[in-house]
Structure 1
Amino acid sequence: MTVTIEVVTGEDNKATDVILREKQDRIDEAKTLYGAYVIETNRKDLTSEEIWHLYMTLTKVEGAFRALKSDLGLRPIHHQLARRTAAHLFISVLAYHLYSAISSHFQKLETPDRCQQFLANSKPTPDSQ
């Protein structure tokens, strides 16, 4: 609920009352957005379709890295040297591209859930680490 809060004070500057008032215009504005996606951007050169496509691409990338972290057990690694950080980023991007290729393969076969099964079964065994 969107409200304004007014604190009433007495002569001794102590609070004597608190008044809550609804901001009807803010409530009406919020109701117009219920159930809607709102994507804010500063890219005025893109159409709404292009913005949506970029947003969906971001969602796919986030999902891929979530899968890499959960299904393959990848975890953050902290590096002290810039070249190691760059190498780690390079390997992560390679892993993302490999995941995308595998996912695309299963999408073409119309079995997208098999991708998760494939990755889950591809975890290294304790003796192969």
Structure 2
Amino acid sequence: MHSNVTHWTPEELWRAYVQLTEAAAAFRAHKPDLQIRPVWHHREDLVGAHILVCFLAYL
């Protein structure tokens, strides 16, 4: 596995990757219920806001 994060151990990188895949799977499962379409953001603050809203919706 390759990453730009250099200070994590391989175990920490793997744990982060597994969490990412679990979050992506949960989001895919809930997209039809939430009626979410692909959204393409061009500003970093909007990307963060979109992730926050998706995470709150998942909870």
TM class, shorter-chain normalised? 0.5 to 0.7
Unmatched segments (≥5 aa) in structure 2:
40-45
Greater RCO (Cα-Cα under 8 Å, separation 6 or more): 2
- Residue 5 of structure 2 is matched in structure 1 by 43
- RMSD of Structure 2 on Structure 1 (CA): 2.6
Q: Which residue of 2 aligns with 1:68?
A: 30
* Aligned-residue identity in percent: 31
Greater helix proportion:
2
| Distance in structure 1 (CA, Å) of the matches to 2:31 and 2:8 | 32
TM-score, reference length from structure 2? 0.64
Where do residues 37-116 of structure 1 align in structure 2 (5 Å cutoff)? 39-70=1-32, 72=33, 74-76=35-37, 89=50, 90-97=52-59
**Runs of 4 or more above 6 Å deviation:** none
* Unmatched tracts of structure 1, length 5 or more: 1-38, 79-84, 98-129
Please give the alpha-carbon distance, in whole angstroms, between the structure 2 residues aligned to 1:94 and 1:43: 26
DSSP-derived class of the 1:42 partner: coil
